């Protein structure tokens, strides 16, 4: 039992990396006829912001997976439990609620009702990511690992800004 809990915790951050992308794609498929989504019958089918979300979300997810794999190589430094917990908190308590709030805002006829909760979760998420970067990564990361982190952070940031633009502009 203890080994299965350790294995679950070991893969939690990896699983959480894929939740927003998979859920976004699934919800787009399920709600493709909803008028608030602006999905068309002709190319490019999706609003340009969704295309940016796909491109930069893919970059972010690739960076997260590469970073996760980097730490599974016995030649590279293993991440400590505190760091793994901090990353899982940023993804699970920041990324997942942010996704839900953004989706509900996008589908709502009054997205302004979601603006304050979105900003609160955004502040928490930025603080959690900054904590992870400045406490665990600032001194020990090399060029390769920093590249993966930049892919993850800036990819997610641009994808989020694109989605925010779609909802509020």
Report helix, strand or coil for 140.
coil
* C-alpha to C-alpha distance for 112 and 114, rounded to whole angstroms: 5
Q: Tokens 């998420």, residue?
A: 125
Which residues make Cβ contacts (< 8 Å) with residue 166, sequence separation at least 6? Answer: 47, 49, 50, 106
Task: Give the CA-trace dihedral at 32, 38, 42, 44, to 10 degrees.
Answer: -100
Supply the pLDDT for residue 5: 63
What are the pLDDT tens digits along the chain (169 aa)? Answer: 656 666 776 677 788 778 888 999 999 989 988 888 888 777 778 899 999 999 999 999 999 999 888 877 777 767 777 877 787 788 778 888 999 999 999 999 999 999 999 999 999 999 988 888 888 877 778 889 889 999 999 999 999 999 999 999 9
Contact 66, 151 (CB under 8 A): yes
Is the residue at 27 inside a domain? no
User: What pLDDT is stored for residue 112 in this prediction?
Assistant: 97
State the residue for tokens 């920041």: 94
What is the structure's pLDDT at 65?
93
Task: Return the pLDDT at 77.
Answer: 67
Q: Which pTM value belongs to this model?
A: 0.85
Contact 85, 115 (CB under 8 A): no
Q: Which domain holds residue 154?
A: 2-18+46-168
Confidence at residue 61, expressed as pLDDT on a 0 to 100 scale: 94
User: Into how many domains does the chain fold?
Assistant: 1
pLDDT of residue 52: 96
Report phi then psi at 52, rounded to 5. Answer: -65, -40
Number of residues that make up the chain? 169
Is 118:127 a contact under the CB 8 Å cutoff? no
pLDDT score, position 6: 64
Q: Is 23 among the domain residues?
A: no
At 1 the pLDDT is 60
Token match 């928490």: residue?
124
Residue 26 falls within a domain, yes or no? no
């Amino acid at each position: 039992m203890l080994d299965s809990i350790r294995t679950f915790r070991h893969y939690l951050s990896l699983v959480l990396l894929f939740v927003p992308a998979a859920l976004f794609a699934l919800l787009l498929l399920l709600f493709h006829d909803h008028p608030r989504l602006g999905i068309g019958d002709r190319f490019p089918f999706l609003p340009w912001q969704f295309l940016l979300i796909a491109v930069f979300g893919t970059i972010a997810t690739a960076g997260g997976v590469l970073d996760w794999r980097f730490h599974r190589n016995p030649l590279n430094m293993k991440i400590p439990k505190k760091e793994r917990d901090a990353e899982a908190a940023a993804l699970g308590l920041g990324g997942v609620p942010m996704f839900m709030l953004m989706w509900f805002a996008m589908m709502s006829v009054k997205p302004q009702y979601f603006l304050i909760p979105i900003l609160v979760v955004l502040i928490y998420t930025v603080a959690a990511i900054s904590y992870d970067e400045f406490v665990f990564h600032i001194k020990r990361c090399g060029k390769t690992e920093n590249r993966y982190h930049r892919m993850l952070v800036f990819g997610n940031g641009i994808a989020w800004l694109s989605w925010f633009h779609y909802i509020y502009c």
